[in-house]
Amino acid sequence: MLNFAANLTWLFQEWPFLDRFAAAADAGFTAVEYLFPYDHPPEEIARRLARHNLKQVLFNLAPGNFAGGDRGIATFPERRDEFRAAIATGLDYARATATPCLHLMAGAASGPEALACYRDSIKFTCEAAAKEGIDILIEPINTCDIPGYLMSDFGLAERLITELALPNFWLQFDIYHRQRLHGEVTKGLEALLPITRHMQIASAPFRREPTTGELDDRHVLKLVERLGYTGYIGCEYGPANGTLAGLGWMQGL
What percent of the chain lies above the pLDDT cut of 70? 100
Q: Which residues are catalytic?
A: 139, 236
pTM exceeds 0.85: yes
The DSSP secondary-structure symbol of 108 reads: B
Question: Residue 252 above 90 pLDDT?
Answer: no
The DSSP secondary-structure symbol of 131 reads: T
Domains of the chain: 3-251 (3.20.20.150)
- What is the structure's pLDDT at 251? 85
Query: Which amino acid type is present at position 119?
Result: R
Residue among 253, 176, 167, 247 nearest 207 (CA)? 176
196-217 as b/e, with b when 16 or more CB fall inside 10 Å? bbbbbbbbbeebbbbbbbebeb
